[in-house]
Structure 1
Amino acid sequence: MTSTLGFAILSVLARGDRTGYDLAAAMRRPVGYFWTAGHSQIHAELQKLLGAGLVGFEAEHGPGPRDRKVYHLTAEGTRALREWVTEPPRERPERDELVLKTYASWLAEPELVRRMFADQLAAHETRLAEYERHEASFGGPPAPGDPRFGNYATLRCGMGYERHRAEWCRWMLAQLGEG
């Protein structure tokens, strides 16, 4: 059974062949907005995908002494990805460090808690502004059959998340008062 990270890699390769380095870059942006993985995790998962016949590679002459591998999705990989896309997502436990800190915030100095929420508000507003600039570059939503549709749809989800978090931080700051 392929892991969720494996399917994330297959999703990137469905958009075009990539080297391991290019895969890691795509996993940072745009995939990193909603799914993260380190280079070592990606490399290990690529080996599993190769072993399962879901990806293949072609060796090309690289800039250094070693050939570089350009990975591609196999027909079996495409089939597995198509099946996986429409399966309901697995339920995962929620982990949110800021919410956990809020739960215990009554133990901390109120001014430090306010500062933490002010910093979080600024970070969420900055990301929202970045996402909004990126959204403007689309010129509207692509058609659902266009690979860019997934980029746009996930960007819209990220915008909603950042708006929600910024609103919650504002609410928390109002609850915490001016000090």
Structure 2
Amino acid sequence: MTSTLGFAILAVLARGERTGYDIAASMRRPLSYFWTAGHSQIHTELQKLLAEGLVSYETEAGPGPQDKKIYRLTGEGTAALRGWITDPPRERPERDELVLKTYAAALADPAALRRLFADQLAKHEARLAEYEREEEAIGGPPGFGDPRWGNYAALRCGLGYERHRAEWCRWMLDQLSESL
């Protein structure tokens, strides 16, 4: 059974052939708005996808002593990705460390808690500003069917998330100010 990371790799390869390094770079943006993976995870998952017949590769001369592998989707990989796209997502437990800390916040030093939320607010505002610059550079959604449409949809999700988190951090700071 292909993992979610495996499907993320298949989705990257659906846009064109890539080396393992290129796959990792493609996952930085826009996939990093909602999914991250390191080189070692990608390499391990590529081996599984190869064993399942979902990807194949050809070798080319690399910049160093070893050949580089250029990965591509197989017909089976394309079919698996198409089927997966419209399956309902798996249930996953929510694990948000900041919310958990907030749940136990009554035990914390209020000044330290304010610093924590001020720092978190700054991080979310910085990420939001970055995403807003990216949205402005794009200028609007490409038409559905264009691979960049998925990039834009992921960016919109990231924008909404960062706006929500920044607003929540502001609310927490207001609440903490009132309690001091």
TM-score, structure 2 as length reference:
0.97
Residues 109-166 of structure 1 show CA distances to partners (whole Å, capped at 9, x for unaligned) of 1000001001111111110110010011111111111100000001001000000000
Instruction: Specify the SS of the correspondent of 2:138.
Output: coil
Equivalent in the alignment of 1:76: 76
Residue correspondence of structure 1 range 88-107 to structure 2 within 5 A = 88-107=88-107
Aligned to 2:59: 59
Q: What amino acid sits opposite 2:150 in the alignment?
A: G
**Residue 30 (structure 1) shift:** 1.9
Query: Any idea what the Cα deviations from partners look like across 1:35-68, whole Å, max 9, x if unmatched?
Result: 1111111100000000111000010000111100
Consecutive unaligned residues in structure 2, runs of 5 or more = none
The AA in structure 2 aligned to 1:71 is: Y
User: Normalization by structure 1: what TM-score?
Assistant: 0.98
- Identity, in percent, stands at 76
Of residues 157-166 and 31-40 in structure 1, the stretch that sits farther from structure 2 once superposed is: 31-40
The total of aligned residue pairs comes to: 179
Instruction: Give structure 1 regions of 4+ aligned residues with deviation exceeding 3 angstroms.
Output: none
Identify the residue that residue 160 of structure 1 maps to in structure 2: 160
Q: Secondary structure at the match of 2:69?
A: strand
Aligned equivalents of 1:173, 1:19: Cα separation in 2? 45
Instruction: In structure 1, list runs of 5 or more residues that go unmatched.
Output: none
For 2:119, the equivalent position in structure 1 comes to: 119
Question: Cα RMSD (Å) of the superposition?
Answer: 0.9
* Letter paired with 2:108: A
